[in-house]
Structure 1
Amino acid sequence: MESNKKYWKGLEELNNTPEFVESNKHEFAESLPIEEVLSGNGLAGKTPRRDFLKTLGFGIGAVSLAACQKVPVHKSIPYLIKPEEVTPGVANYYVSSYKGHSLLVKTREGRPIKIEGNPNDVLSKGGVNAQVQASILNLYDATRLKGPMQDNGDVAWSQLDEYVKAELTALKASGKAIYLVSSTINSPSTLRAIADFTAAYPATKHITYDAVSYTGIIQANQNSFGKAVLPHYRFDNADVIVSFGADFLGSWISQAEFMSQYASKRTWKQVDEGKKMSRHIQFESRMSLTGSNADVRIPIKVSEEGPALVNLYNAIAGTTLPGTKKLNNAIAENAIAIAAKELLNAKGRALVVSGSNDVATQVLVNAINSLLGSYGTTIDLDNPSYQYAGNDNDIVALMEQMKGGAVGAVLFMGANPVYDYYQSSAFADALKKVRLKVSFAGHADETGAECNILAPTHNYLESWGDENPIEGYYTVVQPTINPVYDTRQAEQSLLIWANAPVKDYYTYVRNTWNTTLLAKGNLAGQGGWEALLQSGFVKAANKPATTYTFSRDLNAVAQTILAQSAKVAADQGKLELQVYESNTIGDGNYANNPWLQELPDPVSKVTWDNFVSMAPKTANDLKIEEGDLVNIKANNYSAQLPVLLQPGQAQGTISIELGYGRTKCGKVGEGVGRNAFPYRSFVNGTFQGNLVAEIEKVGGDKVILAQTQTHHSYEGRDVIRETTLQEFVKNPEKALGKGEKHKTYDLWDEYEYPQYNWVMAIDLNACTGCGACVVACNVENNIPVVGRDEVRRRREMHWIRIDRYYSFDNKGETVTKEKEIDKLDNLDHVSVTYQPMLCQHCDHAPCETVCPVLATTHSSEGLNQMTYNRCVGTRYCANNCPYKVRRFNWFNYWNDSRFENYLQNDYTELVLNPDVTTRFRGVMEKCSLCVQRIQAGKLQAKLQKRPLKDGDIKVACQQTCPTNAIVFGNVNDPNSEVAKALKSERTYYVLEELNVKPGIGYQAKVRNRTATEA
């Protein structure tokens, strides 16, 4: 164990600020507002807890009486003729696909309520990320378009079709261009439909525009190898990974897939049994999710990423490209030398990636990977990814065409350039010169507001279709519910407008599979189609991956990189700005999803906002404090944002998240944050997000960000254990500090668990902190969203949270005023560890001993149970819980009109899981280890007249985790996965010295560092 490390959640905890000290004096976030409890009015009261108990003395009868009052009953009409496949109380599962991932959609009484990954999914092996989990809520969004519209008025589909066909026919005769602008489409059926539309209107040009694009990689492969493709990266084949700003565990290309690959080289089976793991070195300016998980992370400026890559190439190739200069960063220079040596030692099992969208930069990356023998092993160009195919040049050319009046019609499918184009206002102005403007968006978004025709498409859960995310892998999309509104698939609209012989899109998709795709999976006919609808995909054999030799002259490439790097280097008084895609709401497509808005950003732990991320030393130099509102000027655009002091941010740089600042997306996302897309620029044929910015402090009150990082304190207790691989291999016991345990005493008899003892193991080496488990738990257990103001009051309701800890080697020294500057420099080189924290289901649960009404009790299967209708909200249990994992629901969040912008509308109650009680206000909530799933699993085994098997039951957080960091099961079964995992040498129990006997064991974090790096 690295005993000389100090772990802390935020700068306020590290610095022990007066505000932090004051907040930790109180056992709860704020006093119980008794007038609010009794009257239901107001959001925050000041009644002291002691006075509340006095009031409770006379109020127990009233509380008991209120508990007996009936909740309004909404009568339902039973099925007159029950569908054959629907059995009330029994879930049905349907395969579908989203973003190329094969899924299982759980439905109850005909309504989809939960998304799970298909265990056989080729990409992520059954895991899905937070965005896929939360996508179920988009189906029930009351702000979706209810039907077609023309010139801002409702219209029938038949009238709209007649008008559009007449306009297209007229444009066809005039010879004016028709553009179909879409985000990346990898659906064979959709591409066929577009081809049929183009055949009917030959002036049509289909262009692909991705708000966050990978044109730089695609074009670099065209320049290097004559293949304009996005490679299929294989992190699971890499022993050494070096990344330059590529957030591949976050928003870069394929999050769930890459997390699954990455963790496969770092989980307990590899570390404990094989005593080895992959090594990951990250160079970056902002603290990304990927950088926070790296073995070694080197903060460098935005302007240094290009020169650093040039120096790495020189070190590997044994040459010196013209213009090469040493970095003004001794730590980075040393790390580059180490990385080059280790990459060469891992030749054939090495991988270098870059997050840059610059073509020249990606060409140099190709050259490095070619020298390392990565093609055919860790990079596959023969079985490429089709997840992104955008070409930035095309959308720029379209705007010029629109300006010149040469475009007669533009149809937008999954693209919203009026919001996310780098010159969005100019794009909107150019669009006004187009005669026919059609949007297929499900919402009247920013681009739809500029269109005269709105032809809303179905939600994917209402649709037929298919996807081809990587070469040879084809997934099917099938509807799990009838359309909620009067929408129609965009593909069907195209076929109708093209007068295609087959206009029914289901039949069209069937034809695609019957003629071409079923054969790839050795399927055919009706039987093959039915087998597909059960399996969810077909997978053709991979094409043989071949090696590629890079032979291009790199002198001009290096000059381009170095020249561009010099342009983004900030002068005195300015800062280097980098914009990046949000890990929660993506490029803005998920801005109206409250589960994602309230999911804390993995690194900053901020919800409901974007911000300016700045190094503490830089802020100190500029006399800026956290929460100050600043104006950022760059690229002829300015926006005011609050400052967040981010440990690990490179000095002299700032970062801003994309995806915020939506003006038309629905009640949840509108007006949240500021739009950062206009900070991007079009350079050398691609959109890039690195530039020089001016910063100006704005007067006024500080902005309090809804940040969750220090909402719960452990009072300095030891909760994290980590070591290096070297130390772990040498002496596991010593490395993890497993000395003599604290002596404990039992005051009562141990519980007996004759058949089942449900426990959990969580591998900190596999957990990336992504937050998918948090959203999965929200969906499964009907956990409400409370909004920005309530999060600021520390009232978020998440049953599982991801604690993020910073650390650096301070050798036990106390930070004094004299050492302040040194401390700020140290904050550039922090390590990050993530720890999922949920109810530990303790055998000696301290919450159980203090509950006056036996609302929380212990089961004969090891579960700490909550009986909601007993709970009177004393909150004694939360006070007595050392893990701070209990949540008090201050309001009836699902039905209170004050929260109607979040989950409350006419339809969102349809997403509720009927197997889980929807809690009324005034009770304690916490993780139940998905007891409803436990009961369902036992019942299923009983119906099948067999014993319950290990793996029959998976809790929601476990099932969604792309890295398999969470293992759940019956520890009484010695052959269960959880029993094996808990036998790991790395297993420890958080706060076990308190003798609460937690039921969740953690496997300590191991980093693959050398002695000097540790």
Structure 2
Amino acid sequence: MCNAGCGIMVRTVMGRAKKVEGNPAHPVNGGGVCALGQAAVHQLYHPERLKLPLLRSGPRGTNAFKEVSWPDALARLADNMKKAEGGASYAVVSNPHDAVTVIASKTLKKMGSDNLAVQGLSAVEGRRLAAASALHFPDMAKAGCVLMLGSDVFAGEAAAHYGDRFGRMRRGNESKRGMMIYAGTRLSLTAASADRFVAAKEGSLGVLALAVAREYVSLLKGRGTVNPKTAAWEKALAGNADASSKTGVPEDAIKKIARDLYEHGPSAVIAGDDLTAHTNGAQALAAADFLNSILRETADDKDGVWPPAEKLSGYETIRKSTGVPEKFAPLGPLLASAANGKMKLGLIIDSDPVQALPAGLNARKALEATGFVAVFGCFLNDTTRYADLVLPDHQFLEAWSAQAAVTPHGTPFFNAQQPVVRPLYGTMQSGDAILKAATMAGFGIGVDTQEALLLGMVGDLRRNLEGVPPALDGKKAWEHVLQRGFAVASAKPSSAPGGSAKNPEAPRVDDPLFTGLAPDDFFLHPYTAANIGDGRVSNISWLLEMPEPMTSVKWGSWVEINPKTAARLGIADGDVLKVETKFGSAEAPACIYPGIGPDTIAMPVGFGHLDFGKHARGRGANVMSIVGDVEGKGFDYTAFRSVKATVTKTGKRMELIREGNPKGDYEGEVFQL
């Protein structure tokens, strides 16, 4: 469903899953569970799930397949693995922490390839994989004031985690109420929950971070809170006096942010996509780190806002023991290499790069040029249209698995996942299918099943997990961890940079670059909606029926436009607009929304599937189909908010659905009860 790593418990009745709830002891979600987690049962019993392996029977670009047996499917996959030996293979996964990613990584290495990439890996999530610095893991719950720099955490993958930490920040301390300030382009769900929303220009949050740092250091000096590095900070930040004009944030507002961070400490900054999804994203992220380093070094952190190095070192231990990769191949160069015909085998695991990635990355062309494409998943989708073989996966409530990760507040943990129901159909875990085919091809990694891999992981890890008796063997230790669903990594003495007080130099933040057709184009702001996330669950009607919290729109996509801009252009709610960039065009109805600037339009991602079942097919517009392949300077991540778009009225209208099903009650069908 997502990559947050929440702990869940599932109620079953007569062998059927009925209800998902959060595990109250889990460090990620603390008992909470978001709408996507609740929808897991809907996905499990979805009538459009794949039941048997499928072999292409028509041309690529269509979902024309015929059913084949598992022995036949695995033999075909093994044969193509042999042909791709020597680096001519790649894999795209959705979860960087999962056991199937470990299997894919080890199998590719046996084949002589390092081409393992993650679909939609953000810059913030990418650096958490390394867990190199405590600056990346502030604990909102223990902070007195938090500055969210474009981080819409309540609508993202870790919504349950941040909901829990936010509640603790607000009410966990009887002597004071924590404060949250949100700075960004759009009034998001998180911004609406903040004490104050600070509207900033697209791509300017890095400059804002340095401006706040400058004012904060000025407060330190003016109020006599002298630090040996104060003079050095002041000198490094001297060139940020024009921040107000660059960010659109008044000077008084910048000073007020700094004052709140100073007076309500300990304080922290949490960075998000609105900071990193521009051409200056790497510099902006460094600016946020610089501000965080000052806040950390000058605050009395007795409450533990920042995790100690000993705590973070536990993640390195579990990462190495489980084999979870620290780094992944950049998607852009990998897909470009495949598009040039250099790849003989592509493994697409529980992901949909054709629909979810920016069109400029040319995932479709890459798959068309790949010799043999095998897709592992539960449903036919936009990517299976270019597959030669589709291998049906267990839904995660039917599967054995594990994840090794670290919470956003710096607690390393190991998740143990067991089936709660028997597999409904003739499906197979992706990890098992890859292992069987790899063994047949001569690329075995020493285990026959994914469950055996998990037992080996815990056997290596058991002495490094809190609460697991070291005398237990691998199998007993695995059973012990399964009883709780997770185990936290033991803290160990470490000289890792996680506890270092070394201050990074103040970075330079360049002006963002934008690609547009005309000077007066609008900034295009793709964002993740709380109801369907990145689109991998947009075939679940229960989630489509859930209104997007800020607009109340459901059952489709829309174009958010400022009321003043709409009045100037003669646009009303429901007018179908054509949004055009140099990479393509898309049409969707207008939604008049005052929470966005007059020079910006916003669209949710995850809609506009070409093929993902009857509920998702053709529903809404895919905003990523009109986004380019611009990479941030010094970054391996796509600057997907660096595009400008022209907006024109089409003359058509489409009523925005804010209540009821678009086809009427029960979709117009009468059911015999």
Interval containing the TM-score (normalised by the shorter chain): 0.7 to 0.9
Aligned to 2:244, the other structure's residue is in SS state coil
Aligned to 1:334: 252
Structure 1 residues 220 and 157, CA gap change in structure 2 (3 angstroms): closer
Please say if residues 116 and 328 of structure 2, whose CA atoms lie closer than 8 Å, have aligned partners that are also in contact.
no
Separation in structure 1 between the aligned mates of residue 361 and residue 80 of structure 2, nearest angstrom: 26
Q: What is the letter of the counterpart of residue 504 of structure 1?
A: T
Matched, 1:185 2:185: no
Structure 1 residues 229 and 481, CA gap change in structure 2 (3 angstroms): farther
Matched, 1:215 2:123: yes
Structure 1 residues 200 and 671, CA gap change in structure 2 (3 angstroms): same
Query: 1:664-683, CA deviations, whole angstroms, 9 ceiling, x for partnerless residues?
Result: 21111111110011343322
RMSD of equivalent CA atoms: 3.2
Aligned to 2:615: 668
Aligned to 2:62: none
Q: CA deviation at 1:342?
A: 2.1
Instruction: Give the counterpart of 1:297 among 191, 197, 211.
Output: 197
Separation in structure 2 between the aligned mates of residue 142 and residue 242 of structure 1, nearest angstrom: 44
Query: 1:746-771, CA deviations, whole angstroms, 9 ceiling, x for partnerless residues?
Result: xxxxxxxxxxxxxxxxxxxxxxxxxx
Q: CA deviation at 1:218?
A: 4.1
Task: Give runs of aligned pairs for residues 653-732 of structure 1, distance below 5 A.
Answer: 653-681=600-628, 682-684=630-632, 685=635, 686-708=637-659
Aligned to 1:365: 288
Aligned to 2:590: 643
Q: What is the letter of the counterpart of residue 359 of structure 1?
A: A
The alignment-based identity, stated in percent, is 21
Q: CA deviation at 1:219?
A: 5.5
Matched, 1:898 2:668: yes
Aligned to 1:264: 168
Please say if residues 103 and 116 of structure 1, whose CA atoms lie closer than 8 Å, have aligned partners that are also in contact.
yes
Structure 1 residues 586 and 567, CA gap change in structure 2 (3 angstroms): same
Task: Give runs of aligned pairs for residues 616-635 of structure 1, distance below 5 A.
Answer: 616-635=563-582
Please say if residues 93 and 101 of structure 2, whose CA atoms lie closer than 8 Å, have aligned partners that are also in contact.
no
Matched, 1:401 2:337: yes
Aligned to 2:391: 455
Q: What is the letter of the counterpart of residue 477 of structure 1?
A: Q
Please say if residues 398 and 420 of structure 2, whose CA atoms lie closer than 8 Å, have aligned partners that are also in contact.
yes
Aligned to 2:405, the other structure's residue is in SS state strand
Structure 1 residues 390 and 587, CA gap change in structure 2 (3 angstroms): farther
| TM-score, scaled to structure 2 | 0.83
Separation in structure 2 between the aligned mates of residue 348 and residue 549 of structure 1, nearest angstrom: 18
Separation in structure 2 between the aligned mates of residue 294 and residue 569 of structure 1, nearest angstrom: 32
Structure 1 residues 147 and 704, CA gap change in structure 2 (3 angstroms): same
Structure 2 unaligned segments of length 5 or more: list them. 57-64, 218-233
Separation in structure 2 between the aligned mates of residue 371 and residue 447 of structure 1, nearest angstrom: 45
Aligned to 1:778: none
Q: CA deviation at 1:632?
A: 1.1
Q: CA deviation at 1:465?
A: 0.9
Q: What is the letter of the counterpart of residue 412 of structure 1?
A: I
Please say if residues 179 and 206 of structure 1, whose CA atoms lie closer than 8 Å, have aligned partners that are also in contact.
yes
Matched, 1:169 2:82: yes
Q: CA deviation at 1:148?
A: 0.7
Structure 1 residues 432 and 367, CA gap change in structure 2 (3 angstroms): same
Matched, 1:512 2:457: yes
Instruction: Give the counterpart of 1:244 among 133, 138, 149.
Output: 149
Matched, 1:378 2:326: no
Structure 1 residues 141 and 496, CA gap change in structure 2 (3 angstroms): same
Aligned to 1:541: 490
Q: CA deviation at 1:98?
A: 7.7
Structure 1 residues 467 and 217, CA gap change in structure 2 (3 angstroms): closer
Q: What is the letter of the counterpart of residue 314 of structure 1?
A: R
Q: CA deviation at 1:453?
A: 1.1
Q: CA deviation at 1:640?
A: 1.1
Query: 1:770-805, CA deviations, whole angstroms, 9 ceiling, x for partnerless residues?
Result: xxxxxxxxxxxxxxxx62243xxxxxxxxxxxxxxx
Q: CA deviation at 1:457?
A: 1.2
Aligned to 1:687, the other structure's residue is in SS state coil
Q: Give the total of aligned pairs.
A: 608
Matched, 1:351 2:261: no
Aligned to 2:227: none
Separation in structure 2 between the aligned mates of residue 337 and residue 519 of structure 1, nearest angstrom: 46
Q: What is the letter of the counterpart of residue 351 of structure 2?
A: A
| TM-score, scaled to structure 1 | 0.56
Separation in structure 1 between the aligned mates of residue 34 and residue 128 of structure 2, nearest angstrom: 29
Please say if residues 181 and 415 of structure 1, whose CA atoms lie closer than 8 Å, have aligned partners that are also in contact.
yes
Structure 1 residues 278 and 532, CA gap change in structure 2 (3 angstroms): same
Separation in structure 2 between the aligned mates of residue 346 and residue 404 of structure 1, nearest angstrom: 55
Instruction: Give the counterpart of 1:282 among 170, 179, 182.
Output: 182
Query: 1:103-142, CA deviations, whole angstroms, 9 ceiling, x for partnerless residues?
Result: 1111111011110111211112111111001111101112
Structure 1 residues 618-627 or 525-534, which shifts more? 525-534
The higher-RCO structure (CA 8 Å, 6+ apart) is: 2
Q: CA deviation at 1:180?
A: 1.7
Please say if residues 129 and 326 of structure 2, whose CA atoms lie closer than 8 Å, have aligned partners that are also in contact.
no
Q: CA deviation at 1:497?
A: 1.6
Q: What is the letter of the counterpart of residue 271 of structure 2?
A: V
Matched, 1:194 2:104: yes
Structure 1 residues 390 and 507, CA gap change in structure 2 (3 angstroms): closer
Structure 1 unaligned segments of length 5 or more: list them. 1-95, 709-785, 791-890, 905-918, 921-1014
Separation in structure 2 between the aligned mates of residue 169 and residue 221 of structure 1, nearest angstrom: 31
Separation in structure 2 between the aligned mates of residue 453 and residue 229 of structure 1, nearest angstrom: 43
Structure 1 residues 457 and 341, CA gap change in structure 2 (3 angstroms): same
Q: CA deviation at 1:522?
A: 2.1
Please say if residues 301 and 576 of structure 1, whose CA atoms lie closer than 8 Å, have aligned partners that are also in contact.
no
Please say if residues 465 and 476 of structure 1, whose CA atoms lie closer than 8 Å, have aligned partners that are also in contact.
yes
Aligned to 1:115, the other structure's residue is in SS state strand
Aligned to 1:550: 503
Structure 1 residues 550 and 538, CA gap change in structure 2 (3 angstroms): same
Separation in structure 2 between the aligned mates of residue 392 and residue 662 of structure 1, nearest angstrom: 27
Separation in structure 1 between the aligned mates of residue 133 and residue 332 of structure 2, nearest angstrom: 19
Aligned to 2:647, the other structure's residue is in SS state strand
Q: What is the letter of the counterpart of residue 599 of structure 2?
A: G
Aligned to 1:678, the other structure's residue is in SS state helix
Instruction: Give the counterpart of 2:159 among 252, 255, 272.
Output: 255
Separation in structure 2 between the aligned mates of residue 416 and residue 229 of structure 1, nearest angstrom: 33
Aligned to 2:220: none
Structure 1 residues 191 and 232, CA gap change in structure 2 (3 angstroms): same
Aligned to 1:480, the other structure's residue is in SS state coil
Query: 1:954-1001, CA deviations, whole angstroms, 9 ceiling, x for partnerless residues?
Result: xxxxxxxxxxxxxxxxxxxxxxxxxxxxxxxxxxxxxxxxxxxxxxxx
Query: 1:8-57, CA deviations, whole angstroms, 9 ceiling, x for partnerless residues?
Result: xxxxxxxxxxxxxxxxxxxxxxxxxxxxxxxxxxxxxxxxxxxxxxxxxx
Separation in structure 2 between the aligned mates of residue 412 and residue 570 of structure 1, nearest angstrom: 34
Query: 1:923-970, CA deviations, whole angstroms, 9 ceiling, x for partnerless residues?
Result: xxxxxxxxxxxxxxxxxxxxxxxxxxxxxxxxxxxxxxxxxxxxxxxx
Matched, 1:788 2:662: yes
Query: 1:628-685, CA deviations, whole angstroms, 9 ceiling, x for partnerless residues?
Result: 1111112422111111111222222111111111112111111111001134332223
Aligned to 2:653, the other structure's residue is in SS state coil
Separation in structure 2 between the aligned mates of residue 639 and residue 389 of structure 1, nearest angstrom: 37
Aligned to 1:502: 447
Tell me which structure has the larger Cα radius of gyration.
1
Aligned to 2:187, the other structure's residue is in SS state coil
Query: 1:226-264, CA deviations, whole angstroms, 9 ceiling, x for partnerless residues?
Result: 93899333110211111222112221x521111100111
Query: 1:446-483, CA deviations, whole angstroms, 9 ceiling, x for partnerless residues?
Result: 11210101112110011001112315311111111111
Please say if residues 339 and 369 of structure 2, whose CA atoms lie closer than 8 Å, have aligned partners that are also in contact.
yes
Separation in structure 2 between the aligned mates of residue 390 and residue 422 of structure 1, nearest angstrom: 24
Matched, 1:125 2:26: no
Structure 1 residues 416 and 569, CA gap change in structure 2 (3 angstroms): closer
Aligned to 1:883: none
Task: Give runs of aligned pairs for residues 15-34 of structure 1, distance below 5 A.
Answer: none
Structure 1 residues 635 and 369, CA gap change in structure 2 (3 angstroms): farther
Q: CA deviation at 1:316?
A: 2.7
Aligned to 1:911: none
Aligned to 2:222: none
Q: What is the letter of the counterpart of residue 246 of structure 1?
A: S
